[in-house]
Each structure stands twice: as C-alpha cells, then as structure tokens.
C-alpha cells in the first residue's frame, strides 16, 4: 500500500537513492560528470527540503518538493512507476497548495528536458562523440 507523509531528516539517504534510480532510468541527457556534480546538491536538497514522500512498505519510493504554487521536484523510483504515485502526489499537492494548472507547469518542464537533450545531441554531433 502506498502512503504519503512529510519527509524526515533520516529519510535523506533513501531519498537520494530514489533520485539516483529515477535519474538513471529517465535522464539520458545527463553525463556521468553531470551526475557527479549534481549528486551532492541533491543530497543537500533531500536532507534539508520539506518534501512530500510516497512510501511502500514503509520505504520511500517517490518524493515531491513544492514551493508556493510551484512543483520543484518529482522523482519516482522505477520500481514504483506506472502505478499512480505521480498522480497521487500531484493531486494531493494540488488540493493542499491551491496549485492550479499543473499541465502548463509540466509542459514547461518537459520543454526544458527536451531542450537539454537537443543541446547534448548537437554538442555530441559537433564533437563526433557517441550519444
């Protein structure tokens, strides 16, 4: 059963692993060097931010960060994807934070990710590196 709760300081290591797993499965545009650079920033973020987390069997499998009416982060471990956790988190946050049109907010995020992929593709094409 999936349960939602606020994050606690001792969740940080497991939330960092959720982030790593989610990024490994979906962020092909990040290089290994990018990951090394970002990892400590994410470790600090999950240790200090107030996050809404989804747990399964009392273990974190997803988290969402919200500031005001903006969704700052949403990461779901691949083992828990496609079972409605993203919808549960967004619906919960929408109801509790008066967030209106999530579709337009997500489309901006999707465009940014697509652009990052295009930039990497163009850079690799110019440098003749494998993609």
**How many domains does the structure of the chain reveal?**
1
Higher-confidence residue of 115 and 77: namely 77
Q: What is the pLDDT of residue 101?
A: 52
Phi, psi for 12 (deg, rounded to 5): -55, -45
Tokens of 15: 């939330």
Q: What is the pLDDT of residue 28?
A: 86
Beta bridge partners of 55: 3, 60
Q: Are 53 and 60 in contact (CB under 8 A)?
A: yes
Q: What is the pLDDT of residue 95?
A: 82
The SS3 assignment for 100 reads coil
Mean pLDDT of the region 32-41: 92
Q: 111 pLDDT band (50/70/90 cuts)?
A: low
Q: Pick from 4, 5, 18, 20: which is nearest to 84 by CA?
A: 4
Q: Are 7 and 63 in contact (CB under 8 A)?
A: yes
Q: Are 89 and 54 in contact (CB under 8 A)?
A: yes
Question: In this structure, what CATH number is given to the domain that contains residue 48?
Answer: 3.40.630.30
What's the pLDDT tens digit per position in 120-131? 444 344 444 444
Q: Find all residues with CB under 8 Å of 54, minimum gap 6, and list them.
A: 2, 3, 4, 60, 61, 62, 63, 76, 80, 85, 88, 89
What's the pLDDT tens digit per position in 64-89? 998 887 888 999 999 999 999 999 99
- Average pLDDT of the chain is 81
CA dihedral 75, 114, 98, 15 (to 10 degrees): 10
Domain residue limits at 43? 2-127
């Amino acid at each position: 059963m999936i349960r939602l709760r606020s994050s606690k300081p001792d969740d940080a290591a497991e939330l960092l692993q959720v982030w790593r797993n989610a990024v490994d499965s979906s962020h092909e545009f990040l290089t290994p060097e990018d990951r090394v650079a970002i990892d400590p920033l994410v470790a600090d973020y999950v240790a200090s931010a107030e996050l809404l987390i989804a747990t399964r069997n009392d273990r974190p499998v997803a988290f969402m960060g919200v500031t005001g009416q903006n969704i700052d982060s949403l990461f779901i471990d691949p083992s828990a994807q496609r079972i409605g956790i993203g919808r549960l988190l967004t619906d919960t946050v929408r109801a509790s934070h008066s967030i209106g049109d999530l579709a337009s907010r997500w489309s901006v995020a999707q465009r940014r990710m697509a652009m990052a992929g295009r930039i990497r593709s163009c850079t690799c094409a110019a440098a003749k590196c494998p993609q």
